Amino acid sequence: MGPGFRQDDDEERGAMDREFLIDLFADFGPVTIRKMFSGYGISADGTNFALALRAGLFLRADELTIPDFETEGSKPFQYSTRAKTVTVNSYWELPARLFDDSQELAQWARAALAAAQRAKVKQRPKGKKASKKVAPKKPVARKRPAKKAVRRVGKAKRAHR
């Protein structure tokens, strides 16, 4: 993917509207296209598995599928803030050749959907743990002012000596 790829891809991206994306994923199956950031989120069965942004088309990836993207020379999604460039390793650029191979694109889309579903399963326990952690923090917060008050008393005694 050299400089020519980028220029050709820019023309391709200009055509990435809802209809183009629906046609692109036709061999994969029905998809839901929703406005997201500077483009669209693409989902199936209620799970977002792809992003169509000004920067390109990105599929969800994980430790099982990232090697396939690396083999193709794809890069993870990146964006810049004022302070730094952020790399989002969970979304990788769709290999350009797949725009012309709808059947193989469908295979990659199924793998991306599976990666997104695996990520959902991993997130569920974290959500439960977070809700459990909230309750114990309240008693800890009540104890802290008492400790600070004790420290202040100690400082006051030192000042009087």
Q: In what helix (H) or strand (E) does residue 61 lie, and over which residues does it extend? A: none
Decide which of 152 and 21 is more confident.
Answer: 21
The reported pLDDT for the residue numbered 76 is 97
Q: What gap in Å lies between CA 45 and CA 104, rounded to an integer?
A: 20
Decide if pLDDT at 8 tops 50: no
Domain 3-125 has CATH 3.30.1460.30: yes
Residue 36, Ramachandran bin (φ over 0: left; ψ between -120 and 50: alpha; else beta): beta
The reported pLDDT for the residue numbered 152 is 53
Helix (H, G, I), strand (E, B) or coil at 66: helix
Percent of the chain with pLDDT over 70: 67
Q: How many CA atoms lie within 13 A of 139 on its CB side?
A: 3
Residue ranges of the domains in the chain?
Answer: 3-125
The reported pLDDT for the residue numbered 138 is 52
Q: How many CA atoms lie within 13 A of 149 on its CB side?
A: 5
Residue position matching structure tokens 């980028």 = 6
The reported pLDDT for the residue numbered 30 is 95
The reported pLDDT for the residue numbered 10 is 40
Q: What is the pLDDT of residues 12-63, one digit of tens each?
A: 444 488 999 999 999 999 999 999 878 999 999 999 999 999 889 999 999 9
Decide if pLDDT at 156 tops 70: no
Going along the chain, which residue ranges are E strands? 32-36, 39-44, 47-53, 56-60, 76-80, 85-93
Longest dimension (CA), the chain: 84
